[in-house]
Amino acid sequence: MDILTWTYILVGASFALYIGIAIYTRAGSTKEFYTAGGGVSPLANGMATAADWMSAASFISMAGIIAFSGYDGSVYLMGWTGGYVLLALLLAPYLRKFGKFTVPDFVGDRYYSNKARVVAVICALFISFTYVAGQMRGVGIVFSRYLEVDINTGVIIGMCIVFFYAVLGGMKGITYTQVAQYCVLIFAYMVPAIFISMQLTGTPIPQLGLGGVVADGTPLLDKLDGVLTDLGFAAYTSGRKGMIDIFAITLALMVGTAGLPHVIVRFFTVPRVKDARLSAGYALIFIAILYTTAPAVAAFGIYNAIETVADKPVDDLPAWVGNWQKTNLISVDDKNGDGIVQYSANAATNELKIDKDIMVLASSEIANLPNWVIGLVAAGGMAAALSTAAGLLLVISTSVSRDLFRTFKPDMTEKRELLIARFSAAGAVLMAGYFGVNPPGFVAEVVAFAFGLAAASFFPVIIMGIFSSRMNKEGAIAGMISGLVFTIAYISYFKFISPELNSVENWWFGISPEGIGSLGMVVNFVVTFVVSKVTPAPPQKVQDMIQEIRIPRGAGAAHDH
């Protein structure tokens, strides 16, 4: 069977599975809609969290950015993985013990203020919409290639699927759908990686294949360094970013991960605080399977792409080039008319342009793997994008229905709240589709901005809210607003207002827009601390509540000696 037939079969079967699960597990109450009834097992929650966290950026774009950035792309691996450890150790158990459905819910109660709750809702919406834009673009890319439709049509198809199971099932439907999506995406990621590792280095373990040797006996990374330097690029294993920028991006991704609202809410779906820790550990194992494989997939992909296209006749290029040219995500322009594809670091003479986001999806075709493997990768890419999109849409709908409407109408019935949550999810799907059609960058870049916004807004007020009973509502509100405004202004200036100035010479302290969330976080911490010091302390009952949160269950009540 051809690629298109396999894709229809595998993507169609996976969609049928997701929709079937959504119907079977549809939510009948707000508790089921928001937290799946609080009865999810740690193992299932670990898988669902891994699927929620490993978005289109992880599946589709991360290996692509490593493929083209080499060593510099490692910031995504370090930041996202380190951030998950931070989340599991510092935040998840305490937030679970606090017992609220959402981050704005925590902020509103901890800082005893509806104003703080509303500011937190605005932050959550900013983060979620920025993040979901990347997911919808990932959906469009997958559909544009494998279903042979344009990206905009692909985004609309993805919207319809997400709409169905996010609006119908809520967190209960999404949780069990994400368990299935994790199984699909990890299988789809590992199978081609194993195939290509065997082809290039003879080892079936991609992580070992990265350090293996190719057919002529040269280590793969040495060979790749040589190929790229011959073409005028920096060596694959060398870095070009400054140390400060590397540190800032990694830190922004780490603390941004720990502040992501759609990941934090997953820890409310398990029965006990102990289960929150356990599910975080399971999730880390499930995530590590993909994250330790990504550098190998990146190196295999860029090596194979260059070997099959560079210095080859324009009229005799492999079929994969023609397939991806139809999507306008790869282009060949014979500028000098010699009939040979010149690939070089010099933009004036370079004749091959490859979109970073296609590297994982195209790597199976580049390596001439069986058509069923190529179709499987399409199903995996869809699973990764849709699982995270669904989680984000749920955060958006709960932020509107629970944290906004219930704040101003506390006597609202549960049935009405559930209806508003579903309408909010529907509206969020439409807006997410708009951002998918008009994205502000490539997938990993857009997601990096979302992490920066999370770092600058949520992380400081959550961490200080848990570990400092002196932090008050005035400090939290001022900190969130200042961190968010500073970060948005910096990103907007260099990315949209004056993109011609987006270079290291013009950045503050040499920090790029992708890493500015770290500085925004510092601004938030300083403003929160200073304002809290010069304004009244929180009520005693709030301070006592914070002390209680930090005590492990069974340790007895807090008391002074």
- What is the tens place of the pLDDT at every residue in 419-428? 787 787 777 7
- List residues bridging with 354 in a β-sheet: 330
**Does residue 150 fall inside a structural domain?**
yes
The two three-digit tokens of residue 325, written as one number: 């040219």
437 and 155 Cβ atoms separated by less than 8 Å: yes
Q: 10 and 375 in contact (C-beta within 8 Å)?
A: yes
The CA distances from residue 158 to 147, 171, 175, 247, 321, in Å, are 12, 19, 18, 35, 25
Give the pLDDT of residue 23. Answer: 73
DSSP per-residue string spanning 344-384:
-S-TTT--EEE-GGGHHHHHHHHTT--HHHHHHHHHHHHHH
Range ranked top by mean pLDDT from 220-224, 257-261, 426-430, 442-446: 220-224
Q: What is the pLDDT averaged over residues 334-341? A: 86
Asked if residue 430 is part of any domain, the answer here is yes
Eight-state DSSP code of residue 249 = H
Please determine, for residue 215, whether its predicted confidence score (pLDDT) is greater than 80.
Answer: yes
Distances (CA, A) of 353 to 223, 312, 329, 440: 22, 15, 8, 19
Query: Which of the two residues, 355 and 446, has the higher pLDDT score?
Result: 355
pLDDT for the residue 300? 92
Domain end among 321, 354, 387: 354
- Using the Cα atoms of residue 448, residue 454, residue 459 and residue 462 in order, give the sign of their dihedral: negative
Which stretches does DSSP call E strand in 220-283? none
Is the distance from CB of 460 to CB of 524 less than 8 angstroms?
A: yes
Confidence of residue 353 (pLDDT cuts 50, 70, 90): confident
Q: Is the pLDDT of residue 77 over 60?
A: yes
pLDDT reading at 554 higher than 50: no
Predicted confidence at residue 560, as pLDDT, reads: 42
Are 349 and 436 contained in the same domain?
Answer: no
pLDDT higher than threshold 50 for residue 111: yes
In a domain, 561, yes or no: no
Please say if the pLDDT value at position 525 is more than 60.
yes
| Full domain range(s) for residue 320 | 308-354
H or E element, residue 22: helix 3-24
* Residue scoring higher pLDDT (336 or 445): 336
166: CATH? 1.20.1730.10
Tell me the torsion sign for CA atoms 44, 48, 49, 54: positive
If asked whether residues 206 and 330 sit together in one domain, one would say no
pLDDT band, very low/low/confident/very high, at 138 (cuts 50, 70, 90): confident
195 with 266, same domain? Answer: yes
Q: Which is higher by pLDDT, 317 or 266?
A: 317
Which range is most confident: 26-30, 87-91, 339-343? 339-343
Q: Is the pLDDT of residue 1 over 50?
A: yes
User: Average pLDDT, whole number, for the chain?
Assistant: 81
Token pair for residue 511? 């920090």
Reported as a pLDDT band with limits 50, 70 and 90, residue 194 is very high
pLDDT for the residue 439: 65
239 pLDDT higher than 70: yes
In a domain, 18, yes or no: yes
Query: pLDDT band at 375, cuts 50/70/90?
Result: confident
Looking at the structure, tell me whether residues 292 and 312 fall in a common domain: no
What is residue 79's predicted lDDT score, i.e. its pLDDT?
85
Same structural domain for residues 415 and 448? yes
Q: pLDDT value at position 27?
A: 54
Rounded mean pLDDT of 24-35? 57
Is residue 29 one of the residues assigned to a domain?
A: no
Q: What is the reported pLDDT for 144?
A: 76
Mean pLDDT of 65-70: 85
Q: What pLDDT, on a 0 to 100 scale, did the predictor assign at position 205?
A: 93
Do residues 80 and 212 both lie within one domain?
A: yes
**pTM higher than 0.85, yes or no?**
no
Considering the domain architecture, whether residues 220 and 259 belong to the same structural domain is answered as yes
Question: 381 and 324 in one domain?
Answer: no
Say whether both 280 and 183 belong to one domain: yes
Say what the pLDDT of residue 192 is. 93
Whether 71 and 186 share a structural domain: yes
In this prediction, residue 551 carries a pLDDT of 67
Q: Report pLDDT for 529.
A: 93
32 within a domain of the structure (yes/no): no
- Alpha-carbon distance 125 to 102, whole Å? 12
- Specify whether 209 is located in the same domain as 129: yes
> Has residue 45 been placed in a domain?
no
3-state SS of 386-402 is HHHHHHHHHHHHHHHHH
* Burial readout 173-195 (b: 16 or more C-beta within 10 A, e: otherwise): bbbbbbbbbbbbbbebbbbbbbb
pLDDT reading at 553 higher than 60: no
Q: Return the bridge partners of 332, or none.
A: 352
Q: Is residue 280 part of a domain?
A: yes
Phi-psi label, residue 402: left if phi above 0, alpha if psi -120 to 50, beta otherwise: alpha
Instruction: Please tell me the predicted confidence (pLDDT) of residue 530.
Output: 94
According to the model, what pLDDT value does residue 543 have?
A: 86
Are residues 278 and 321 both part of a single domain? no
Residue matched to tokens 């304002």: 531
Q: How many domains does the chain have?
A: 2
Q: Is the pLDDT of residue 91 over 80?
A: no
Q: Each residue of 466-522: pLDDT tens digit?
A: 888 888 989 989 998 899 899 989 988 988 788 888 888 899 999 988 889 999 999
